[in-house]
């Protein structure tokens, strides 16, 4: 790091990978965690799956192979940023366990925190912020995760957020407490 680098000299680079159904609250939670980290003067990059679909992954469809390639690309970008010393948040459905495991394998052990933002399908559908579940149910969207394409919940996430029981702010505090417990952030208490 050079003298002009604003990052704290002792900050360990790591990734927090938020996974869950569309409408589970991944992006909302990632934004709250970003805000909490910035309040601690931890510079952070927030990579949102929807934003990456409009750019880096705009050439991909939504079948299983395309979803797998999307997560592979996001994993590679994340690895580059973590290798450069950055803290990275990723909010992406990432429906397949194998894709998430591959992304984890790119990061030094202990520096990949998987956060499962868990809601039942009926809750995700009721939230439906983009109207996508309705379109999938009406047959206008195919290969939609949770409807006609599978979602494989993480078998051993570092953080399991019950996004029905916890409000987003409390869930964000849970993630921060997990980072402290893992030794990735200094404890503020």
Give the count of beta carbons closer than 10 Å to the beta carbon of residue 148.
12
Give the count of beta carbons closer than 10 Å to the beta carbon of residue 98.
10
The token pair at 47 is 């990579």
Give the count of beta carbons closer than 10 Å to the beta carbon of residue 186.
12
CA–CA dist 17, 172 (Å, integer): 13
The token pair at 77 is 């970008």
Catalytic residue annotation: 94
Strands laid side by side in the 44-48 sheet: 44-48, 87-91, 15-19, 112-118, 159-162
CA–CA dist 161, 154 (Å, integer): 12
Angle between helices 26-39 and 168-181 (to 10 degrees): 60
């Amino acid at each position: 790091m050079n003298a002009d680098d604003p990052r704290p000299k002792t900050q360990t680079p790591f990734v927090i990978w938020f996974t869950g159904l569309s409408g589970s609250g991944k992006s909302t939670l990632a934004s709250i965690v970003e805000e909490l980290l910035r309040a601690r003067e931890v510079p952070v990059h927030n990579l949102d799956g929807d934003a990456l679909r409009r750019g880096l992954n705009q050439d991909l469809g939504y079948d299983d192979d395309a979803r797998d390639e999307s997560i592979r690309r996001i994993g590679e970008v994340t690895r580059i940023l973590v290798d450069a010393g950055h803290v990275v948040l990723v909010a992406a459905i990432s429906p397949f366990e194998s894709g998430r495991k591959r992304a984890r394998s790119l990061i030094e052990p202990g520096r990949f925190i998987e956060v499962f933002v868990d809601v039942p399908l009926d809750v995700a559908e009721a939230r439906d912020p983009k109207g996508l579940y309705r379109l999938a149910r009406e047959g206008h969207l195919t290969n939609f995760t949770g409807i006609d394409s599978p979602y494989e919940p993480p078998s051993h996430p570092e953080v399991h957020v019950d996004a029905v029981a916890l409000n987003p702010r409390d869930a964000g505090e849970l993630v921060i407490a997990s980072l402290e417990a893992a030794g990735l952030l200094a404890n503020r208490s």
